C-alpha cells in the first residue's frame, strides 16, 4: 500500500464513487430543504446549533467553533439571517453581542428538521444499514484525526483549520 503518488484503477473507481455519492447526496438534501422550506443548509446548520443549545443563545465565535466557518462568513450570514427574522443579535456584556434564535427561527427548524432527518434515514442510514453505518462513522473519525495530526505536526503554531 502506498506505492507512489498515483491511485490505481480500483482506488480511482472507489474515490470517484465516493465523490459522486457525496455530490448527489448533498445536492439532493439541499435542494429539498431549499424548495420546501426556503432554507439553505447553512441556515440549517446555524439553527440546529442554536436550538440545541438549551438557552437558544450563543456567542458568534462559539457558533464558529461548532461549524468550522470563517468568522467573516459567520458575520455576513448572521446579518442576512437577522434580516430574515430567523435570529436576533442582543447586546449583553456591553461588548460582543449574543446570537438568539427567534420564535420564527425556532418554528422553521422544528418544521424542517424531521423531514430532513427522514431523508437522511431514507437515503443514507437505511441504505447502509446499521453495521456499515457505524463502520463508516468510525472510519470518518480516523480520517479527521489523520488530517488533524498532519496539520499540527506540519505547522505547529497554526490554528487547526489552516493547513
Partner DNA sequence: CGAGTTGAGTTGATGTGTCAACCCAGTCGG
Partner DNA sequence: CCGACTGGGTTGACACATCAACTCAACTCG
Q: Whole-number minimum distance, CB 140 to DNA, in Å? A: 20
Q: Does 56 bind DNA (CB under 7 A)?
A: no
83 versus 130: smaller Cβ distance to DNA? 83
Report the alpha-carbon distance of residue 121 to residue 128 in Å, rounded: 10
Of 4-12, 64-72, 126-134, 137-145, which segment contacts DNA by CB under 7 A?
Answer: 64-72
- Indicate the angle between helix axes 71-83 and 60-67, nearest 10 degrees: 120
Q: Does 31 bind DNA (CB under 7 A)?
A: yes
3-state class of 144 per DSSP?
A: helix
CB 33 within 8 A of CB 116: yes
Residue 14 binding: pick among DNA, its own copies, none (C-beta 5-8 Å cut-off by kind): its own copies
Query: Residue 15 is placed in which grid cell?
Result: 474515490
Q: Whole-number minimum distance, CB 50 to its own copies, in Å? A: 16
Q: Does 116 bind DNA (CB under 7 A)?
A: no
| Side-chain half-sphere exposure of 136, counting CA atoms within 13 A | 10
DSSP string, 13-52: HHHHHHHHHHHHHHHHHHHHHHHHHS--HHHHHHHHHHHT
Instruction: Compute φ and ψ for 26, nearest 5 degrees.
Output: -65, -40
Q: Does 78 bind DNA (CB under 7 A)?
A: yes
Site residues, its own copies (CB under 8 A): 1-2, 5-7, 10-11, 13-15, 17-18, 20-25, 27-28, 31, 68, 114-115, 117-118, 120-130, 132-144, 146-148, 150, 161-163
Residue numbers at the binding site for DNA (CB under 7 A): 31, 34, 40, 42-43, 59-61, 64, 69-80, 89, 94-97
Amino acid at each position: 500500500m502506498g506505492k507512489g503518488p498515483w491511485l490505481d484503477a480500483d482506488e480511482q473507481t472507489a474515490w470517484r464513487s465516493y465523490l459522486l455519492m457525496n455530490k448527489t447526496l448533498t445536492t439532493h438534501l439541499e435542494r429539498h430543504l431549499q424548495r420546501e422550506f426556503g432554507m439553505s443548509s447553512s441556515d440549517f446548520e446555524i439553527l440546529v446549533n442554536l436550538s440545541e443549545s438549551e438557552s437558544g443563545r450563543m456567542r458568534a465565535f462559539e457558533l464558529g467553533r461548532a461549524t468550522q466557518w470563517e468568522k467573516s462568513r459567520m458575520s455576513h450570514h448572521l446579518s442576512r439571517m437577522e434580516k430574515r427574522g430567523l435570529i436576533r443579535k442582543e447586546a449583553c456584556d456591553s461588548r460582543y453581542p449574543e446570537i438568539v434564535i427567534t420564535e420564527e427561527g425556532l418554528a422553521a427548524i422544528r418544521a424542517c428538521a424531521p423531514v430532513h432527518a427522514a431523508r437522511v434515514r431514507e437515503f443514507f442510514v437505511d441504505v447502509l444499514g446499521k453495521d456499515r453505518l457505524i463502520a463508516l462513522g468510525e472510519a470518518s473519525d480516523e480520517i479527521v484525526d489523520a488530517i488533524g495530526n498532519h496539520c499540527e505536526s506540519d505547522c505547529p503554531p497554526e490554528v487547526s483549520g489552516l493547513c
